[in-house]
Every structure is written in C-alpha cells, then in structure tokens.
Amino acid sequence: MRLFVPWMLAATIAAVPVGRFTPSRAHPDFSGAWALDPAKSEGPMIPTSATLKITQDEKSLKVERTVTAMGNTASSTSTYALDGSPSKNTVTAQGRSVDFNSTAEWSENILVIKTSADFGGNAFSGTERYSLSDDKKTLVIAGEASIGGQSITTKQTFAKQ
C-alpha cells in the first residue's frame, strides 16, 4: 500500500482536472499533445516522463495521460464536465481502483481543479491550477495535495508537441 499511495498521488497531481466552465474568449484552450519537461518541474515525486493528450470544448475536457514514475508506466483517460457539475473518474493501478471526485472553476485564465478521493480510509484532497503561457507552448500544472496528514506541492511544466 505504501508504494501504491505515493504513485497514485503523483499520478493524480499529474492530471486530474474538472468542472465549471463559463464560456469566454479569455479562457485558454488546453487542447493538444504535451510532454513533461522534468528539468523545469519542481517538487517531490515528479514523474520520470509524462505525456498528456488534451481535448477540450465548451462542455468537456478529456485528458489522456501516460506517466512513468518509480519504474512503472501507467496510462489513463479522464473526462470532465465543464458545466460546474461534479465529475467522477476511476483509476486502477496495481489491482486497486480509486474513484476521484472533482470540480473545476475558472479564476481568470487559470483552471482550478479540486479533487478528493479515499485511499482505503486515507482521505486525499488536491488542488491543481492549469495555466498556459502567452505563446500557448507551455502548460504549467501547479498542484497541492494532502493524504494521510502529509502534504506536497508540485509544479509540472509541459511543452506543446
């Protein structure tokens, strides 16, 4: 269980978005293929590599991710409603399934995603902030998470492919 929780925490911070979307030209479109730049990323448990394929419209955000961390590679796909309703995504790793419940809202040009889950009695909560550079070539996901009384902060930087 000890290896499962940090790996799941890293995978969650790498990509669980959701929620409320108010159509506006000011809100960025995260669509595209993205590759993690570990040299520009900060925090514990930064994956060795990660790729994201994001598809976004005014109603939904779909994230297909492949993450390599601690010698293990895992892929998952999550789809999130962008109308303010809660979204549930289930991730299965090492034979265990975990339901992640998320909501999201825009704070100017930043998509703020709040996620909660239960890891066998250990409550997980996390917040991610997705932002795009002005040239739309860099995606930064700033994350804060806590589980079992431990907290981490990360910044993952992705380059558009």
Question: Which pLDDT does position 19 carry in this prediction?
Answer: 41
Identify the band that residue 79 occupies on the pLDDT scale cut at 50, 70 and 90. Answer: confident
pLDDT exceeds cutoff 90 at 119: no
Least confident of 12-16, 41-45, 124-128: 12-16
pLDDT value at 130 more than 60: yes
Structural domains in the chain, CATH included, are 4-160 (2.40.128.20)
First-to-final CA distance of the chain: 35
Calpha distance 81→128 (Å, rounded)? 16
Q: How confident is the model at residue 8 (pLDDT cuts 50, 70, 90)?
A: very low
Predicted local confidence at residue 17, as pLDDT: 44
